[in-house]
């Protein structure tokens, strides 16, 4: 949906592809044309390069935008597009391959003068070598997939006895996720922040850094909440991070949008982690704060045009952060049951709106949420003149959001917006480990049962043909909707969850 909108604003037609379970997804309807790829397994649909190329050629496409999943960071896909005479809306294959191989990326960053986390720059042969390198670096260490990302193929090892089991587990997971079980080892840093720099680069050799994003609130290395700018980054540090990021991009001949990820220690030192050679899920917070449409810039750069932004973020550059933005990833997971995936028919959806509020969603009422793909349903983004105002707006927007039919991460995000450590900005990648007890405790059973009863009343009302759940809480006839009346009677501040 995000890419389709950008195409239409640029005056371009958009062709969507879909698998059988996604036939009723909004992007299929909103595109100018849509092509069925195949059945649910991604290997037979979204990961089938031949089918994707055929779909593009048969519909007269000139370019392919890979989004931020599936084949978006596969050099082989970018090469296949070029061989078919199609423009790949992203970096050149050589850059994808260089940054996709984590040990090669580390070598290149060291050569470019970018600080990297201490570790190996070649694949490990076996657990014996892994143990030897771990002892050299000092425990704890991380065993990581060379072809990895998103926390896949990664194991934290605290002593000699954990190396062999962690090595084999990480290798199996990496082989399954990436088709490559190669691993390397790096030093595990204590309580760092996850800070990333958004970059744009065009074919004329210009590279711009668009400030940082704070992505430290994670679960199993999967990001849950992101914000820009970071409370831990001063203008001087932003300048240093931006310079390192542009050097990293320049070292691989990068073109298009990309992200350089760093770990920032409590003492202010930072180290290169990896590069995402695509648009990021969390790109809207940067768009809010820097006033740049990153996807439209991607399209312009792919068409051979110069990008419309220049310089580095911070003092002395041309880009300066304006206000503060926060993004919550709304996923089909139950936060009160170890984030287990949730499935079912999305029976009702009420999307928040208002000042400084943005909803990037790929769902609508009636959609069947399955286990076939990533649980991300939508992204809710809030902007404010200050971080405090952005948090207030996010809290209000989350309270307005109504999703009926399956469990989501929404109540978890609401709790975070009220958490004292988060409000102070006292976060790092261990935040959820420390705060999980208060953030993930199941709500009182009676409250859940009441909320479910209210939700059932809402769905029944909807099926009877009434207009309910408007932002003012009233039906078409002007009276307050019965579900809102009942939820308030039961003391549910935010209505049905």
In 112-234, where does DSSP find H-type helix?
127-137, 160-178
State mean pLDDT over 322-329.
98
Any idea which residues carry the catalytic annotation? 278
At 318 the pLDDT is 64
- Tens of pLDDT, residue by residue over 163-185, are 999 999 999 999 988 889 999 99
Burial class for 471, CB neighbours closer than 10 Å (0-12, 13-18, 19+): exposed
Q: Report the 3 state secondary structure along 351-394.
A: CCCCCCEEEEECCCCCCEECCCCCCEEEEEEEEECCHHHHHHHH
**pLDDT confidence bin for 315, thresholds 50/70/90:** low
At 449 the pLDDT is 60
**pLDDT confidence bin for 220, thresholds 50/70/90:** confident
At 463 the pLDDT is 64
At 384 the pLDDT is 98
**pLDDT confidence bin for 221, thresholds 50/70/90:** confident
CA distances (Å), 398 to each of 45, 136, 403, in order?
34, 47, 11
**pLDDT confidence bin for 483, thresholds 50/70/90:** low
- Tens of pLDDT, residue by residue over 203-213, are 999 999 999 99
At 10 the pLDDT is 96
**pLDDT confidence bin for 458, thresholds 50/70/90:** low
Choice among 74-88, 105-119, 229-243, 434-448 with the minimum mean pLDDT: 434-448
At 471 the pLDDT is 45
CB within 8 Å of 295: residues ≥ 6 apart: 2, 3, 6, 65, 257, 279, 283
Are residues 199 and 210 in contact, defined by beta-carbon separation less than 8 angstroms? yes
Whether 453 shows a pLDDT value over 80: the answer reads no
**pLDDT confidence bin for 149, thresholds 50/70/90:** confident
Whether 466 shows a pLDDT value over 70: the answer reads no
The percentage of residues in the chain with a pLDDT greater than 90, rounded to a whole number, is 82
> Which tokens hold the place of 411?
């109540």
Helix, strand, coil % in the chain, rounded to nearest 5: 35, 25, 40
Burial class for 338, CB neighbours closer than 10 Å (0-12, 13-18, 19+): exposed
Whether 372 shows a pLDDT value over 50: the answer reads yes
CA–CA distance, 466 with 488 (Å, rounded to integer): 20
CA distances (Å), 165 to each of 103, 121, 155, 396, 411, in order?
22, 22, 9, 46, 36
**pLDDT confidence bin for 491, thresholds 50/70/90:** very low
State mean pLDDT over 46-51.
97
Whether 89 shows a pLDDT value over 90: the answer reads yes
State mean pLDDT over 346-362.
97
At 469 the pLDDT is 44
- Tens of pLDDT, residue by residue over 382-432, are 999 999 999 999 999 999 999 999 999 999 999 999 999 999 999 999 999
CA–CA distance, 197 with 213 (Å, rounded to integer): 6
CA–CA distance, 120 with 488 (Å, rounded to integer): 58
At 457 the pLDDT is 66
Choice among 58-72, 257-271, 306-320, 460-474 with the minimum mean pLDDT: 460-474
At 443 the pLDDT is 86
Provide the whole-model pTM: 0.85
Whether 472 shows a pLDDT value over 60: the answer reads no
**pLDDT confidence bin for 495, thresholds 50/70/90:** very low
Whether 493 shows a pLDDT value over 50: the answer reads no
At 349 the pLDDT is 97
At 440 the pLDDT is 95
**pLDDT confidence bin for 477, thresholds 50/70/90:** very low
Q: Is residue 234 within a helix (H) or strand (E), and if so which, with residue range?
A: none
Q: Which of 183, 182, 197 is nearest to 272 (CA)?
A: 197
CA–CA distance, 255 with 249 (Å, rounded to integer): 8
State mean pLDDT over 46-73.
97
Whether 475 shows a pLDDT value over 60: the answer reads no
Mean pLDDT computed over every residue of the chain:
91
At 476 the pLDDT is 45
**pLDDT confidence bin for 136, thresholds 50/70/90:** very high
């Amino acid at each position: 949906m995000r890419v389709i909108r950008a195409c239409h604003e640029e005056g371009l037609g958009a062709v969507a592809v879909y698998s059988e379970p996604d036939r009723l997804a909004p992007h299929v309807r909103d595109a100018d044309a849509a092509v069925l790829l195949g059945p649910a397994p991604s290997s037979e649909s979204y990961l089938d390069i031949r089918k994707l190329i055929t779909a593009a050629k048969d519909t007269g496409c000139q370019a392919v935008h890979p989004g931020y999943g599936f084949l978006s960071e596969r050099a082989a896909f970018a090469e296949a597009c070029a061989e078919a005479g199609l423009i790949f809306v992203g970096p050149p294959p050589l850059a994808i391959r260089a940054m996709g191989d984590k040990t090669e990326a580390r070598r290149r960053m060291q050569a470019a003068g970018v600080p990297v986390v201490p570790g190996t720059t070649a694949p490990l042969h076996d657990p014996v070598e892994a143990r030897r390198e771990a002892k050299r670096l000092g425990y704890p260490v991380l065993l990581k997939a060379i072809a990895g990302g998103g926390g896949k193929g990664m194991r934290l090892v605290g002593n000699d006895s954990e190396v062999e089991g962690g090595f084999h587990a990480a290798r199996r997971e990496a082989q399954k996720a990436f088709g490559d079980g190669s691993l390397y080892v790096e030093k595990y840093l204590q309580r760092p922040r996850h800070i990333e720099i958004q970059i744009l680069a065009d074919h004329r050799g210009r590279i711009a850094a668009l400030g940082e994003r704070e992505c430290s609130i994670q679960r199993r290395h999967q990001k849950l909440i992101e914000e820009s700018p970071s409370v831990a980054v001063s203008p001087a540090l932003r300048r240093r991070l931006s310079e390192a990021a542009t050097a990293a991009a320049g070292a691989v001949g990068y073109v298009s949008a990309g992200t350089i990820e760093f770990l920032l220690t409590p003492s202010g030192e930072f180290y290169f982690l990896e590069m995402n050679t695509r648009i990021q899920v969390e790109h809207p917070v940067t768009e809010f704060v820097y006033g740049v449409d990153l996807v439209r810039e991607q399209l312009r750069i792919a068409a051979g045009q110069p990008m419309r932004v220049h310089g580095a973020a911070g003092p002395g550059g041309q880009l300066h952060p304006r206000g503060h933005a926060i993004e919550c990833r709304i996923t089909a997971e139950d936060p009160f049951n170890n984030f287990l995936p949730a499935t079912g028919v999305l029976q009702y959806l009420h999307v928040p709106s208002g000042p400084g509020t943005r909803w990037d969603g790929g769902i609508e009422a009636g959609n069947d949420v399955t286990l076939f793909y990533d649980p991300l349903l939508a992204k809710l983004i809030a902007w404010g003149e200050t971080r405090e105002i952005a948090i207030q707006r996010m809290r209000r927007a989350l309270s307005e959001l109504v999703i009926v039919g399956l469990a989501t991460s929404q109540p978890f995000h609401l709790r975070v917006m009220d958490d004292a450590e988060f409000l102070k900005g006292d976060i790092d990648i261990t935040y959820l480990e420390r705060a999980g007890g208060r953030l993930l405790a199941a709500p009182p059973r009676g409250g859940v049962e009441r909320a479910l009863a209210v939700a059932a009343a809402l769905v029944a009302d909807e099926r009877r043909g009434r207009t309910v759940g408007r932002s003012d809480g009233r039906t078409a006839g002007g009276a307050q909707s019965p579900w809102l009346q009942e939820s308030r009677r039961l003391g549910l501040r935010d209505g049905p969850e």
